[in-house]
Amino acid sequence: MTTEFDRLRDADLPSVRAEIRAGRYAGHTAGLGRGHLQANIVILPEAQALDFMRFCQRNPKPCPLVGVSDTGDPMMHTLGRDIDIRSDVPAYNIYRHGRLEGSAPDIRDLWTDDMVAFALGCSFTFEHALMQAGIPLWHVENDTTVPMFRTNIDCAPAGAFRSRMVVSMRAVDPSRLTEAERISRRYPLAHGAPIHHGAPDEIGITDITRPDWGDPMPLAEGQVPVFWACGVTPQVAIEAAAPPLCITHKPGHMLITDIPEDCETPVLTPAE
């Protein structure tokens, strides 16, 4: 049986985007549009936009900003030739006053003239690079969601946006640890180098078998738990700020941009 995901996996980027825009694909985007930068999405009223943008600037490891729309303009001009943020994400979460109200396949009916859309880099980029280097990722091989944890590390606040840093955990063989750090450091727009390894309690994680989000992951004998800053952090900050309306992507259901994953800067240039 060929699923819709299987069919899209080998499709080119315009075809994938067309299927998502038409509402014919509402699944996760891991492995789709190969080689292109994928992004977490946060949409807020302009009244909250400057503070949220400051929060991202001050916390670039969990919140690497890769694109921002003009106020009221749903087209993400610097991220692609034809990206409409109201329809080009497979599934959206809708928050009112900081609480998840529900999900939607598009947000055409919610978009207004005072909205600003933010795109933040995600971990797919460095995960691809790790796997290409032959560093296995258990959660990918076992088709589970990476385990994520609240830490005791304070983010730099901005206005009402404040949060402890959330991290994702991957198990790495000690012989590959330096290489894993070096590879991920190359991708500052995808959380960069890990923020910690080895001693979860030092960053406030008391039980690595019980993640706050995602699925548990076994740690094989001798493997080191490695922690990267995670894109769930801004979601916690949004819950704290409790803006009247906030729309995000549904976890795992990212925006696929036109930007090459190994770009120096995430901005479309006339030559591309």
Task: Enumerate binding residues for a second copy (CB under 8 A).
Answer: 46, 49-50, 53-54, 57-61, 65, 67-68, 70-71, 77-78, 116, 154, 156, 158-159, 185, 188, 192-193, 264-265, 267, 270
Query: What sign does the dihedral 226-228-232-238 (CA atoms) show?
Result: positive
**Main-chain dihedrals φ then ψ at residue 153, nearest 5 degrees:** -90, 120
225 bridge partner residues:
171
Angle at 195 between CA 190 and CA 200, to 5 degrees: 130
**Least CB distance from residue 21 to a second copy, whole Å?**
23
CB nearer to a second copy: pick between 47 and 133: 47
* Least distance to a second copy, CB of residue 70, Å: 7
E strands, the chain, are: 36-45, 65-68, 92-96, 99-104, 115-121, 148-154, 164-172, 196-197, 224-229, 246-249, 255-260
Residue 199 to residue 91: CA distance in whole angstroms: 36
CB of 203 to a second copy, least distance (A): 12
Nearer to a second copy, 38 or 59 (CB): 59
Choose between 34 and 54: whose C-beta lies nearer to a second copy.
54
Token pair, residue 243, equals 């803006």
Write down the least CB distance from residue 53 to a second copy, Å. Answer: 5
Q: Which is nearer to a second copy, 10 or 154 (CB)?
A: 154
Measured CA to CA, the distance from residue 18 to residue 20 in angstroms comes to 5
Q: Which is nearer to a second copy, 93 or 163 (CB)?
A: 163
For a second copy, the closer of residues 22 and 50 by Cβ is 50
CB 206 within 8 A of CB 232: no
State the minimum distance, in angstroms, from the CB of residue 177 to a second copy: 17
Rounded to a whole number of angstroms, the distance between the first and last alpha carbons of the chain is: 37
CA distance 67 to 78: 7
Q: How far is the CB of 78 from a second copy (least distance, A)?
A: 5
CB of 214 to a second copy, least distance (A): 24
**Residue 269, Ramachandran bin (φ over 0: left; ψ between -120 and 50: alpha; else beta):** beta
The partner residues of 104 in beta bridges, in order of sequence, read 92
> In the complex with a second copy, which residue's Cβ is closer, 8 or 120?
120
